[in-house]
Structure formats: structure tokens, C-alpha cells
Amino acid sequence: MPTEESIAKGTGVLDKLFGWKIDPKTVTQPFNRITMGNLFGDVWTRPELAIEQRSMITVAALIVLGRESELRMHLRGALNVGITRVQIEEMILHLAHYGGWPVAATATRIAQEVFAEIDAGK
């Protein structure tokens, strides 16, 4: 199971991606600990890919798999690490050809909603 150090690193990644301030001591439920320590703490911080690249391939995966709520979250993460709105729209246009138009249509709707929420200060 993940160490306290891994969990602390994971909360740092979530702060950077989503602006979430999470006290590592509050991460107690087993699946949350695994997610925070193994996925965000250990994997997302590995130097073999930059965080912008991890964000981009994560968004690509979520678009083609049609995972709506996770996509909503990671679109904000993508913007926070410097991927532009134009690049996000272009990823959707590109990936329409690999995952099909329906997942691209859903991603377009979610992206527009996220952009509008940000513009409204939410």
C-alpha cells in the first residue's frame, strides 16, 4: 500500500492540476489512498513524461473512452498546466476520427461547459 510520502506527493500533484488543497492526513479510505499515492503520487511525478504530456494523453484517453465526469475534471487540469483551449478543441477534432463522432460531440459539449464555467469565475 502507498507510503505517507507517496500520498503527500499525490496531494501536491492534485494542487498543481486542479488547485485542490488536500491535507494528506485526511486521505484514509483505501481506494483514495491508492489513487492518491500510487496514481497521482508515484506515476504522475515520474520524470519520463512532463506533466503537460501526461495531462494531454489523459485527456485523449478520457475523450475516446467517453468518461464524462473525469474528462470535465481533467480539462481544467489541462488548462492549468498550460494546454490552450484551441489545443483542446483540436484534440477533440483529431480524436473524432479515432474514437468516433459521438464521443467527440460529447467532449465538445463538456469542453464548452467547462470553458463557460471558468469564464463565469466558477
What's the half-sphere exposure (Cβ side, CA atoms, 13 Å) at 15?
11
Query: Nearer to its own copies by C-beta: 31 or 121?
Result: 31
Which is nearer to its own copies, 67 or 80 (by Cβ)? Answer: 67
Angle at 33 between CA 30 and CA 35, to 5 degrees: 110
Q: How far is the CB of 66 from its own copies (least distance, A)?
A: 7
Which residues bind to its own copies, rule: CB under 8 A? Answer: 1, 3, 6, 30-31, 34-35, 38-39, 42-44, 46, 48-49, 53-54, 56-58, 60-67, 69-70, 86-87, 89-106, 108-109
d(CA 72, CA 56): 13
Closer Cβ to its own copies, 101 or 121, answer by number: 101
* 52: Cα separation from own chain's centroid: 10
Helix (H, G, I), strand (E, B) or coil at 81: coil
Shortest distance, CB of residue 9 to its own copies, whole angstroms? 11
DSSP category for residue 29: S
Please state the closest distance from residue 33 (CB atom) to its own copies, in A.
10
